[in-house]
A = this chain, B = another copy of it.
Amino acid sequence: MLSPFILASRSPRRKALLEKLNLPFEVVSSSVQEDHISSAEPDKLVRRLALEKAQEVAKQFPHRVVIGADTVVVLEETVMGKPAHQAEAKEMLNLLSGRRHTVFTGVAIVKNANAEEHTFYDRTGVTFFPLTHEMIDRYVRNTPPLDKAGAYGIQDWSACFVEKIDGCYNNVVGFPLSRFAQLLRTPAIQERFGIDHFMSDG
């Protein structure tokens, strides 16, 4: 009997992405507060928060491989997490309009029984078309983006905001799927986390 992985995230988008890998997993969400107001570099910040989420759940399930993730949007020096309310969502989208920002997602895998932790991150550049106030108002009204870093979900109607991206698309959705799949194929990782019986292919 194989122990499924645990995804320490309540994001339905991350769940949908991980399902593409045909790996057995279940969701146990953490209660970690995503405090993105920090002087840390974005890559350190998302890895630290991903690790905190995974660690919290891993304490309850020491023999399971727990996956954490955290995503932020970075516009020049500003780090954006999830907007607190609709007005902040509109502010964020106004800032992103017509400019290029970077999406950082950190991923952590933790297995306490093996005393193993591994983190990595990916970054993707996203260029928005100029947005009208009308587009922003409609988007925020019709697709409340309060659960999304930077106040947009690239897989929904805001796909129309995006002129181009540079990097991994799924990283923008919230999980760098292909890099994660590559990691699971690494013999050293399979051995250290005891997951060599899982096939990540097919």
Residue ranges of A at the interface with B (Cβ–Cβ < 8 Å): 17, 20-22, 124, 129, 134-135, 138-139, 141-142, 154, 156-157, 159-170, 177-179, 181-182, 200-202
Question: What residues on B are CB-neighbors of A154 within 8 Å?
Answer: 169
B167→A20 contact, CB < 8 A: no
What is the total number of copies of this protein in its complex?
Answer: 2
The smallest beta-carbon distance between A175 and chain B, in angstroms, is 10
Residue of B134, B166, B177, B200 near A164 (CB, 8 A) is B166
Beyond A160-B200, A164-B167, 19 additional pairs, beta carbon < 8 A: A20-B160, A21-B157, A124-B164, A129-B178, A129-B182, A142-B202, A157-B202, A159-B178, A160-B178, A160-B181, A162-B168, A162-B169, A163-B178, A163-B179, A164-B166, A164-B168, A165-B165, A165-B166, A165-B167
Assess A202 versus B170: contact at CB under 8 Å? Given A20-B157, A157-B20, A177-B160: no
Q: Which residue of B lies closest to A17 (CB)?
A: B159
Q: Which residue of B lies closest to A138 (CB)?
A: B202
C-alpha spacing A125/B178, complex, angstroms? 16
Our pick among B138, B139, B169 for the contact of A169 (Cβ within 8 Å) is B169
B residues less than 8 Å from A161 (CB atoms): 178
Kindly name the residue among A17, A138, A160 whose own CB sees the greatest number of chain B CB atoms within 10 A.
A160
In the bound complex, do residue B165 and residue A169 qualify as a contact, i.e. CB atoms below 8 Å apart? yes
| Residue of B whose beta carbon sits closest to that of A135 | B201
**Smallest beta-carbon distance A73→chain B, Å:** 17
State the CA gap A134–B200 with chains docked (Å): 11
